[in-house]
Amino acid sequence: MITYEEAMAKLQQDGQEHVLAYYDELDEAGKQHLLKQIEELDFSVLALADPKVRRKTTAARGKITPLTAMELPEIEENKEHFKATGLEAIRAGKVGAVLLAGGMGTRLGSDNPKCMYDIGITHPVFIMQRLIENTLDVVREADGHMIPFFIMTSKKNDAVTREFLKEHDYFGYDPSFVYFFEQEMAPACDYNGRVYMEEKDTIATSPNGNGGWFTSMNRAGLVDTCHELGIEYLNCFAVDNVLQRIADPVFVGAMIEKKCACASKVVRKVSPDEKVGAMCLEDGKPSIIEYYDMTPELKEEKNGKGDPAYNFGVILNYLFSEKDLEKIMNEKLTVHVVEKKIPYLDPFGNHIKPESPNGYKFEQLILDMIHEMDSCLPFEVDRKREFAPIKNRTGVDSVESARELCKGCGISL
Ligand code: UTP
């Protein structure tokens, strides 16, 4: 553990000495806790709160060109063949699932992790239960062959997530195939880059985004576990899409047949202005262009069929070749600066829970990993059957909209 002097020297490098302001008031446990946090955190990201620094470090976008997606008719035509290939890989133990559940779900506004949210109407239907039931569908199709199920949590929700699964008997999943790992945290700061304190002995932190998942998995020794189990493909997905298919054999088979380094489930955009990132090539490599980066020209551009050229949005369900993930593991991903509500301790010792954003969090994103890969297969899915994200309580991408979509798929709520 670092000493007080070492901690102070580290903080001085990034102008954050105020973190130790209450040090003398703390008991021994509090002192140790604070020093450990200072030792573990990377404060250099806080410089990005300054827009000038941000502009300097954000690489300009490369040349954007279309990337052809595999569309529904082509998938339908080859479905049985892809499925057979995918199931063979699953039965051979080559496919693992990775649930990204380290986020804070602030928009949903529940105190518990998002996976514990109950979307049921007449009986409980937890988000986690939906995900596990969807995975079990595939286990059954693969003659009972279990799919190793990795769950990424963060310091803020790890214990309660584990407890919840245990309490519910893992919703029928064999617990010996469930592996937890924690992602890293990043400091959170005000608009001037000054880190907030959550308690006198605790720096305000938040999970550092979903982009570090493979590095965190490696740190937890689980990449070694992948080797031991013979896993060659990892299907990585968000916690909040209650309709998504996990380790979908058709998707797995298509990527294997097309020999791509990764694949992404995509949905046809409802309009060129829909707020989803679209698959594309950037300087010839697969990439995702955010809706706010789309120029009027890109929105207008058509492909050979006369359809919009950037017509397929990502839904945070990716499949990666494990070997290719290892190749890019040490690449530095862009750090995104996100405005959020950050609870903090004010100078008078009051705990403040802000109603509106009051500062920045720093995140790396899984979508930036796609650009590091040599090839990517965008794979179309029917949004009514596979895309019911829960970000908000009401309105767009909400509990309400997801319930309607679930009902449309015959899921009892
Ligand atoms: P979101 O972008 O929806 O973020 O995450 P969030 O933090 O959960 O929700 P808001 O923005 O505060 O409302 C997309 C997926 O990535 C995971 C989330 O759990 C979700 O599955 N995620 C996000 C992580 O695993 N770690 C993170 O640091 C952030």
Per-residue pLDDT of the chain (413 residues; tens, 9 = 90+): 999 999 999 999 999 999 999 999 999 999 999 999 999 999 999 999 999 888 877 767 899 999 999 999 999 999 999 999 999 999 999 999 999 999 988 889 888 999 999 999 999 999 999 999 999 999 999 999 999 999 999 999 999 999 999 999 999 999 999 999 999 999 999 999 999 999 999 999 999 999 999 999 999 999 999 999 999 999 999 999 999 999 999 999 999 999 999 999 999 999 888 889 999 999 999 999 998 889 999 999 998 889 999 999 999 999 999 999 999 998 889 999 999 999 999 989 999 999 999 999 999 999 999 999 999 999 999 999 999 999 999 999 999 999 999 999 999 99
Q: Alpha-carbon distance 381 to 395, whole Å?
A: 23
Q: What pLDDT, on a 0 to 100 scale, did the predictor assign at position 271?
A: 87
Question: Taking the model in full, what pTM does it have?
Answer: 0.95
Question: For residues 286 and 262, is the Cβ–Cβ distance under 8 A?
Answer: yes
Q: What are the structure tokens assigned to 33, written together?
A: 């806790």
Q: What pLDDT, on a 0 to 100 scale, did the predictor assign at position 55?
A: 81
Q: What pLDDT, on a 0 to 100 scale, did the predictor assign at position 32?
A: 97
Q: What pLDDT, on a 0 to 100 scale, did the predictor assign at position 177?
A: 98
User: Which residue owns the Cα nearest ligand 1 atom 20?
Assistant: 238
| Backbone phi and psi for residue 149, each to the nearest 5 degrees, phi listed first | -120, 105
Question: For residues 233 and 85, is the Cβ–Cβ distance under 8 A?
Answer: no
Question: For residues 329 and 215, is the Cβ–Cβ distance under 8 A?
Answer: yes
Ligand 1 pocket, residue 217 CB under 6 Å: no
Ligand 1 pocket, residue 308 CB under 6 Å: no
What's the 103 CA to ligand 1 centre distance in angstroms?
4
Atom of ligand 1 nearest to the CA of 392: 13
Q: What are the structure tokens assigned to 28, written together?
A: 């021994």
Q: Alpha-carbon distance 268 to 278, whole Å?
A: 9
Q: Which of 116, 128, 153, 210 to mutate to test the pocket of ligand 1 (most atoms within 8 A of CB)?
A: 210
Q: Alpha-carbon distance 316 to 24, whole Å?
A: 46
Q: What are the structure tokens assigned to 401, written together?
A: 């909209």
Q: What pLDDT, on a 0 to 100 scale, did the predictor assign at position 118?
A: 96
Q: What pLDDT, on a 0 to 100 scale, did the predictor assign at position 403?
A: 96
| Residue appearing with tokens 């690449």 | 331
Residues 6 or more apart whose CB falls under 8 angstroms from that of 377 comprise 70, 254, 255, 258, 260, 262, 263, 264
| Backbone phi and psi for residue 5, each to the nearest 5 degrees, phi listed first | -65, -45
DSSP state of 51: H
User: Which residue owns the Cα nearest ligand 1 atom 18?
Assistant: 103
